[in-house]
């Protein structure tokens, strides 16, 4: 075991009840179930109602993760929420989660690394534990992307879903262990995937609303090209620096953006699809929530056994990329 390393001791996820299928979308925009399935691998996604915010799903996911870790909210030292759809621009969504949980002793803050947010959060938690500063850290990836989705834009509105996933990270005890983390960004690509208005560059005005600038915009094909390269690069870099070969991986859990991006990543590291977790068909792209939801489900489905190597890998707006290699 590495000195002061960390491990995931609890996991949980939450998705809204309402399901929006491709057939529902056919009635909303000029699209088809066949187009969406073949181009993205998606069949349905979960959609939050008007009263649900990111902190609500976060709190549900966190409650499950804390129970599995047998940790009381008051024992938490830190709460990190990765999200691009915070309840409010400030205070941080993590502070609402802190209030909901009664985690009165924690430092709570949000991070924004788009779809790589959970990987960035896990990397921070691992570093805080390795440094000896903190012991009990809650990392959440949560999104209500459907509230920044332009439901008149068929090129984007079919892609996204809502959800939250949470992990409790604590010092490793000789069994499970986070072995390697890797994060990197390329700020030259900020315009490819963006929510243009609502910040200090373009504050909310009647004009910004009329121009639909408060909805997510994306250059799909450019994002696709970057995604395939970034996920492959992050996976290869992380395996190489850990001295672990892809043959040794029991499971790859990639960000669930598109089945074709997932397949290309698997091909790049020469991994058969049987060793790749896929749930994009049922949830769509839930951004920062996608990896913790997929990780929780893969454990529930028995796809990871104790001692197995598992690689998490992501890309996202920014552009950001990252990977975490751990022994389960």
Ligand X SMILES: CC(C)(COP(=O)(O)OP(=O)(O)OC[C@H]1O[C@@H](n2cnc3c(N)ncnc32)[C@H](O)[C@@H]1OP(=O)(O)O)[C@@H](O)C(=O)NCCC(=O)NCCS
Residues tagged active-site: 115, 255, 285
The binder of ligand X chosen from 224, 250, 275, 299 (CB under 6 A): 224
Stretch that binds ligand X, among 33-41, 43-51, 104-112, 202-210 (CB under 6 A): 33-41
* Least distance between ligand X and beta carbon 94 (Å): 22
* Least distance between ligand X and beta carbon 225 (Å): 9
Is residue 189 within the footprint of ligand X (CB under 6 A)? no
* Least distance between ligand X and beta carbon 28 (Å): 10
* Least distance between ligand X and beta carbon 273 (Å): 18
One-letter-per-residue 3-state SS of 222-237:
HHHHHHHHHHHHHHHH
Euclidean distance between CA atoms 216 and 196, whole angstroms: 7
Q: Output phi, psi for 161, to 5 deg.
A: -145, 175
For ligand X, the closer CB: 178 or 216? 216
The binder of ligand X chosen from 135, 154, 275, 282 (CB under 6 A): 154
The binder of ligand X chosen from 41, 254, 292, 316 (CB under 6 A): 316
Contacts of 62 (CB under 8 A, 6+ apart): 12, 79, 97, 101, 138, 140, 166
Is residue 149 within the footprint of ligand X (CB under 6 A)? no
Burial of 219 per CB tally in 10 Å (0-12, 13-18, 19+): middle
Q: Count of CB atoms within 10 A of residue 162's CB?
A: 30
For ligand X, the closer CB: 216 or 239? 216
**Three-state SS for 44?**
strand
Is residue 173 within the footprint of ligand X (CB under 6 A)? no
Q: Convert residues 247-276 into a mask of x (bound to ligand X by CB under 6 A) and - (unbound).
A: ----------xx------------------
Closest CA to 169 of 3, 4, 279, 2: 4
**Three-state SS for 176?**
coil
Euclidean distance between CA atoms 299 and 305, whole angstroms: 8
Q: Which residues bind ligand X (CB under 6 A)?
A: 31, 35-36, 39-40, 115, 154-155, 158, 193, 218, 220-221, 223-224, 227, 257-258, 285, 316
């Amino acid at each position: 075991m590495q000195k002061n390393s960390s491990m995931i001791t609890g996991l949980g996820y939450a998705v809204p009840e309402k399901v929006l299928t491709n057939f529902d979308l056919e009635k909303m925009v000029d699209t088809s179930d066949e187009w969406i399935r073949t181009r993205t691998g998606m069949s349905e996604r979960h959609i939050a109602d008007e009263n649900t915010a990111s902190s609500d799903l976060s709190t549900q996911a966190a409650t499950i993760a804390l129970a599995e870790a047998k940790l009381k909210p008051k024992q938490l030292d830190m709460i990190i929420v990765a999200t691009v759809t915070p309840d409010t621009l400030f205070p941080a969504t993590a502070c609402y989660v802190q209030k909901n949980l009664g985690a009165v002793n924690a430092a709570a803050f949000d991070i924004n690394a788009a779809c790589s947010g959970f990987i960035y959060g896990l990397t921070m938690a691992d570093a805080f534990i390795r440094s000896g500063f903190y012991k009990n850290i809650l990392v959440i990836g949560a999104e209500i992307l459907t509230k920044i989705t332009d439901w008149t834009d068929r090129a984007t509105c079919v892609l996204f879903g809502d959800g939250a996933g949470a992990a409790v990270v604590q010092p490793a005890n000789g069994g499970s262990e986070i072995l390697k983390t890797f994060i990197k960004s390329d700020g030259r690509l900020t315009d490819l995937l963006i929510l243009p208005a609502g910040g200090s560059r373009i504050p909310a005005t009647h004009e910004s609303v009329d121009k639909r600038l408060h909805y997510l915009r994306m250059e799909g094909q450019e994002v696709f090209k970057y995604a395939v390269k970034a996920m492959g690069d992050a996976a290869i870099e992380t395996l190489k620096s850990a001295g672990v070969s892809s043959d040794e991986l029991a499971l790859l859990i990639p960000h669930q953006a598109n089945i074709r991006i997932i397949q290309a990543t698997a091909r790049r590291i020469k991994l058969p699809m049987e060793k790749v977790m896929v749930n994009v068909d049922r949830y769509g792209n839930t951004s920062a929530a996608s990896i913790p939801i997929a990780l929780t489900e893969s454990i529930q489905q028995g796809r990871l056994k104790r001692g197995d190597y598992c690689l998490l890998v992501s890309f996202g707006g920014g552009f950001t990329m990252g990977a975490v290699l751990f022994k389960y």
